[in-house]
Amino acid sequence: MGATTLCAFRDIPQDEVTVASETPPRAATRSRMKLVCPAGTLPALKVAIDQGADDVYLGFKDETNARNFAGLNFDDRALREGIAYAHRAGARVLVALNTYPQPGTWRRWQAAVDRAAEIGADAVIVADAGLLAYAAKTHPQLRRHLSVQGSATSHEAINFYHERFGIQRAVLPRVLAVEQAEKTIAKTQVEIEVFGFGSLSIMVEGRCALSSYATGESPNTHGGCSPAKSIRWEQKPEVLESRLGGVLIDRFTARENPGYPTLCRGRFVVNGDVYYPFEEPTSLNTLGLLPQLAAIGVAAIKIEGRQRSPAYVETVTRVWREAIDECERAGERFRVKPAWQTALEQVSEGHQCTLGAYHRPWR
């Protein structure tokens, strides 16, 4: 089992519906690209706003969101406080309702849309088509964003959601190269949001059911890829073992930092060798692509990590706010500052970074 390494890029070197009006820009110098940051808790929301997030996204304390973990997310009181805090700074709050209701649970998802609208959220981020239809009909003034869990990878799909449900923004899955994103943006009037930093999923967004084989619960309906109740840790004489639903995920030596056990990031024995057959622990980091993303018309940069700490949110938001503003000022002369990379190294998974599908030389 290999030790972690310092963060280094391993790929290359550096019917229409009425909607709510836009919140005024926070300042005249604000970048055209919005910075969308995660908030798993109220303290995380506040530091994201304080560090310059334009939008903050969050979820309720139930399975209507894809980060349904104990200790995370918002009740109505916390959401009201968070929205008030954001609005005082000119920022917006987006409520993620990005899992899929089932016939027996449909009313719970409906009620979540109603709660978001009544409390004053600026938008809902939705994956399910039926829930988008409900939101468009019942709360036409509420902005609707298509979640990455909707897995729309073409302008045809995005335009379909716009024509049928009036979506105003779509989050692209992390499986497209920059050139593919550019072609999509050129053929839609919908704002396009892309992931800029954080955990990198190799699975098809909104279609992965891998962990359900070990836990019996689909992350797409229950909101947790590796629910805490299915996780077990066992200290052995020389290693720490992690298991998910009884499946051995990894063994960590004393020199390694144990990662949260997920099947796609587990080390397994394959043909006698022990390695990560699905995906190594690594973080997507696209700082160096900012001028290119701005040039192709990306409307918003999304930071992954609602399950991460307020300290993570503070660091990443600060770095990306500075970088996006610098990109706006410098244009083609933009260069990634070493201090930004150093700060991001400390919060990257496995202390490794990648451009993921944004750079695909094999294409």
Which tens digits make up the pLDDT trace of 238-247? 899 999 888 8
180 contacts 152 by C-beta, under 8 angstroms: no
- Predicted TM-score (pTM) of the model is 0.82
Does 159 lie in the same domain as 74? yes
Start-end of H helices in the chain: 42-50, 76-88, 106-119, 129-138, 155-165, 178-186, 212-215, 219-222, 290-295, 310-330, 338-345
Residue-level pLDDT at 29 = 38
- Residue in 182, 169, 184 with CA at minimum distance from that of residue 132: 169
Q: Is residue 156 part of a domain?
A: yes
Does 155 lie in the same domain as 47? yes
**Domain span holding position 299:** 34-200+283-358
Six-digit token string for 166: 């009036």
Does 262 lie in the same domain as 165? no
Does 327 lie in the same domain as 264? no
Does 225 lie in the same domain as 127? no
**53-56, long-range: CB within 8 Å, 24+ apart, which pairs?**
53/91, 53/317, 53/321, 54/26, 54/30, 54/91, 54/92, 54/300, 55/91, 55/92, 55/93, 55/94, 55/122, 55/123, 55/300, 56/82, 56/86, 56/91, 56/92, 56/93, 56/94
- Cβ neighbours of 107 (radius 10 Å): 9
Residue 231 CA to residue 100 CA, distance in Å, equals 23
Does 333 lie in the same domain as 219? no
Length of the chain: 363
Residue-level pLDDT at 57 = 98
Does 84 lie in the same domain as 138? yes
Q: Is residue 29 part of a domain?
A: no
CATH number of the domain within which 342 lies: 3.20.20.70
69 contacts 29 by C-beta, under 8 angstroms: no
Evaluated on CA atoms 279, 172, 81, 108, the torsion sign reads negative
Q: Give the residue ranges of the chain where pLDDT is below 50.
A: 1-31, 362-363
Six-digit token string for 35: 């910075």
Which residue reads 């902005």 in tokens?
Answer: 143
Does 114 lie in the same domain as 253? no
Q: Is residue 6 part of a domain?
A: no
Q: Is residue 7 part of a domain?
A: no
Does 301 lie in the same domain as 339? yes
Strand 240-244 vs strand 247-252: parallel, antiparallel, or unpaired?
antiparallel
Q: Is residue 28 part of a domain?
A: no
Q: Is residue 19 part of a domain?
A: no
Does 159 lie in the same domain as 91? yes
pLDDT in tens, 44-79: 999 999 999 999 999 999 999 988 888 899 999 999
Residue-level pLDDT at 256 = 82
Residue 162 CA to residue 359 CA, distance in Å, equals 28
